[in-house]
Structure 1
Amino acid sequence: MRVGDPLDTCLPGGDAATDALARTVLALAGAAAELSHLVSRGALEGALGAEIGEGHEAGDAQRALDVVADDLFFRALADAPVAAVASEEREGVVVLDERAPLAVAVDPLDGSSNIDINAPVGAIFSIMDAARDAPAEAPFLAPGTRQRAAGIVVFGPATTMLLSVGRGVDLHVLDRASGAFRLARADVRVPVSAKEFAINASNRRHWEPGLEAWFEHCLAGRDGPLARDHNMRWIASLVAETFRIFTRGGVYLYPADQRKGYERGRLRLVYEGKPVAFLTEQAGGLATDGRRRILDLEAGSLHERCPFVFGSREMVETIGSYLSGSRPG
């Protein structure tokens, strides 16, 4: 692969299984390119950020562009070798073709609350083998180690896609002139160590003691137990935070806390946790729920939530030591 190569030439092929995977990735990329165009038009496309109805199955307010994005991805996948699709915007699994070999989980529009303020939004997807002689939802509930591929797309100044098909992570950028994603950087690696962290500090009073101790020690800088000055970031968009961490390292946390409804965190294991964890580990980083490896977790339901900590390996391991109590607080 060389910089500038179109996405279709960067994907594996040569047998039925890899050809099916490539076709599915290209279908998802096509939907993302179309969605990128809509996002870039902003208010010219109408009130894309307007809340509609009473919220989707994940419990967040559903916005007009959420529905449009969901429809775009389903239309694209209808022509791909996909047996079933699970979308964060829908209650259950939608069966497309029972004979097809793959299953896709998708968060069609991550960070939709940022639409009206022109902050980055994106999409997240995960591809796995379809169920055989099992309920259609079985692949989505299985451990994340079963994933064949995963990716995130960020609609920012440039539309970028971090993609892994199980052999590392590559960065592709949408070439608006041709309408195709092109390779920008191969074998992206998450720096092992960094000094940036992303967490919503307004919830600090609800955190467990170990997490609060770690946060205090970060703020103490080079004079504290961690002996390092830190910077804090909070974009409130998982895809944007992920791209930043893959670019320059750091750690992202959305922990469980004492508030009602947040006892298991806020992010969804199937649609956000497992695909981002797959990408992170493929790039040399680490993803946990604070104590356990995310990719080892089975989901009890399609919309199950989980605490989420991922990024530079040293930082994630340090947080784990605070939460387990092995590091004095």
Structure 2
Amino acid sequence: MMHKSLGLAFVMAYLGVASGFMRTSPGFNAIIKARPVVTVLDMGAGDVDIMTLTRFMIENTKSNPDQQEMESMMASIQMACKKISSLVSRAGITDLTGMQAGGGSINVQGEEQKKLDVISNDVLKNALRCTGKLGVIASEEEESPVLVEEGLMGKYVAVFDPLDGSSNIDAAISTGTIFGIFEEAGECVIDYDEDNLDEEEMQCLMQTLQPGKSLVAAGYCMYSSSTILVFTMGNGLHGFTLDPQIGEFVLTHPNMRVPKRGKIYSFNEANYNDWDEPLQKYVDALKTGTGESGERYSSRYIGSMVGDVHRTLLYGGIFGYPGDKKNPNGKLRLLYEAAPMSFILEQAGGRSTTGTERIMDIEPKAVHQRVPTFLGSPDDVAELEKAFAK
């Protein structure tokens, strides 16, 4: 117990966190509206009123005291994001570019692991383990979910992709972390004196397999020209930018809303010839201006889900990684990529779909299950669904 207490104390001391990561309430939305967002450019000009993520959680806890137990979880997530941001920004200097172990390491997805894939996974996993609130952790880089020994009485399950878009690291293109938090579907208590230990552990691990509609929190942290942490707790979406001068995430995007329709589509068109015909016709209509909007869309594709979805969230349009002849289920993982991002977009007024069904409703059958994914503005996603229905 001592090492858990010390670990949690370190996290809280590091961030100066006094209170928690809660669902946004109508009362807290009023707080955001009443206090204007202040940028770092205003600092030094006198008294300022900066809403940091730490302060955001403190204010929100006042309205949601019953949710206070989640405070250490968000403290750990933002600490991990700060650390990963530092590692990414200094990767070329500290020899963290390139493949893990000389290119010989392959993860459970059959993908070559970058050095930062492994390090980022350890950073996030270790930060979350010390909260004492988690029973199970599932990661893209782990073959199976991991029981958190310090938190066997924990109430929550964390799922994450520690470094989405890591293939872009060597080119210094944006990457990101995606995470989701579920409540455990049932009590997860393991008696290590019992003979049926394996069965008890498996029951706990299977609590990871929950649909996106069961998420209680989700977010992403984008590492680019700035580090931006966007998250939702089920009642609105807020974005925070890391201010390197004070080492804190500062509220810069309160109550985020995706435009009803955009003018940008984000697909990997190198796979066009392998797509289903309805999708080909849909994209052709966007390019030629013969779709419902009558506007010609621009193509923007980074190859990092976090970067592409963040742009879609701000400017509208549609992001997609569809299934094709080579990969009928696409390449994005349902549990820790598609579902959390769908939750995020829906909280901003957007929509998500496989083309035929809402992603949030899908019951996962396996931790690394893949699913065709389309996210974005509600009118754009609705038009896509009509194309698939023809």
TM-score, structure 1 normalization: 0.94
Higher helix share: 2
Superposed CA offset, 1:5-24 (max 9, x none): 12122234256751122321
Q: Deviations over 1:240-273 (max 9, x none)?
A: 01110111111101000111xx111100001100
Q: Is the 8 A contact 1:93 1:136 kept in 2?
A: no
Summarize the alignment of residues 46-195 of structure 1 with structure 2, pairs less than 5 Å apart.
Answer: 46-51=95-100, 52-80=103-131, 81-96=133-148, 97-133=151-187, 135-195=203-263
Deviation at 1:87, TM superposition (A): 0.7
Give, in whole Å, the separation in 2 of the partners of 1:320 and 1:236: 23
Distance 1:307 1:47 in 2: 32
Partner of 1:252: 319
Alignment correspondent of 1:23: 72
2:280 corresponds, among 212, 219, 222, to 212
* Cα distance in 2 for residues equivalent to 1:59 and 1:18: 39
One-letter code aligned to 1:100: G
Aligned to 1:283: 348
Match of residue 309 from structure 2: 242
Query: Partner of 2:235: helix, strand, or coil?
Result: coil
Tell me, yes or no, if structure 1 residue 269 matches structure 2 residue 323.
no
Distance in 1, matches of 2:187 and 2:68, equals: 23
* Letter aligned with residue 182 of structure 2: M
Preserved contact between residue 177 and residue 306 of structure 2 (Cα < 8 Å) = yes
Alpha-carbon distance in 1 for matches of 2:304, 2:77: 20
Q: Is the partner of 1:109 in helix, strand or coil?
A: strand
Amino acid across the alignment from 1:105: V
Shift of 1:85: 0.6
1:13-57 CA-partner distances (Å, limit 9, x unpaired): 256751122321221111000110111113111042324434212
Change (3 A) 1:48 1:16: farther
Distance 2:104 2:335 in 1: 24
Distance in structure 2 (CA, Å) of the matches to 1:23 and 1:212:
46
For residues 51-90 of structure 1, what are the alpha-carbon distances to aligned partners after superposition, in whole Å with 9 as ceiling and x for unaligned? 4434212232211000000110111112112111101100
Structure showing greater relative contact order (alpha-carbon pairs closer than 8 Å, 6 or more residues apart): 1
Contact kept in structure 2, 1:267 and 1:307, CA below 8 Å:
yes
Structure 2 CA distance for aligned equivalents of residues 21 and 196 of structure 1: 37
Structure 1: 5+ residue stretches without partners: none
Match of 2:388 in 1: 323
The whole-number CA distance in structure 2 between the counterparts of 1:54 and 1:30 is: 27
- Opposite residue 197 of structure 1, the aligned amino acid is Y
Q: Is the 8 A contact 2:145 2:208 kept in 1?
A: no
**Partner of residue 13 from structure 1, selected from 37, 46, 61:** 61
Q: How many residues align?
A: 322
- Of the three residues 62, 70, 83, the one matched with 1:34 is 83
Deviates more, 1:13-22 or 1:39-48: 13-22
Partners of 1:47 and 1:34 in 2: how far apart?
Answer: 14
TM-superposed deviation, 1:224: 6.1
Partner SS for 1:319: helix
- Residue identity in the other structure for 1:45: T
- Quick one: which amino acid aligns to residue 329 of structure 2? R
Tell me the distance in 2 between the aligned counterparts of 1:212 and 1:242.
Answer: 21
Q: Give the match's secondary structure for 1:124.
A: strand
State the alpha-carbon separation in 1 of the partners of residues 255 and 292 from structure 2: 34
Kindly, what percent of the aligned residue pairs are identical? Answer: 31
In structure 2, give the amino acid aligned to 1:108: P
TM-score by length of 2: 0.79
Q: CA deviation at 1:149?
A: 0.4
Match of 2:22 in 1: none
User: Distance in 1 between the 2:94 and 2:204 partners?
Assistant: 36
Q: 1:61 to 1:130 in 2, by over 3 A?
A: same
Report which of the two structures shows the higher radius of gyration computed on alpha carbons. Answer: 2
Return the structure number with greater strand share.
1
How far apart are the structure 2 equivalents of 1:307 and 1:20?
Answer: 35
Say whether the 8 Å CA contact 1:20–1:101 is kept in structure 2. no
Q: CA–CA distance in 2 between the matches of 1:185 and 1:224?
A: 31
Question: Within 2, Cα distance between the matches of 1:169 and 1:22?
Answer: 18
3-state DSSP class of the match of 2:241? Answer: strand
**TM-aligned CA distance change 1:273 to 1:225, over 3 Å:** closer
Contact 2:147/2:205 (CA < 8 Å) preserved in 1? no
- Aligned partner letter, 1:217: A
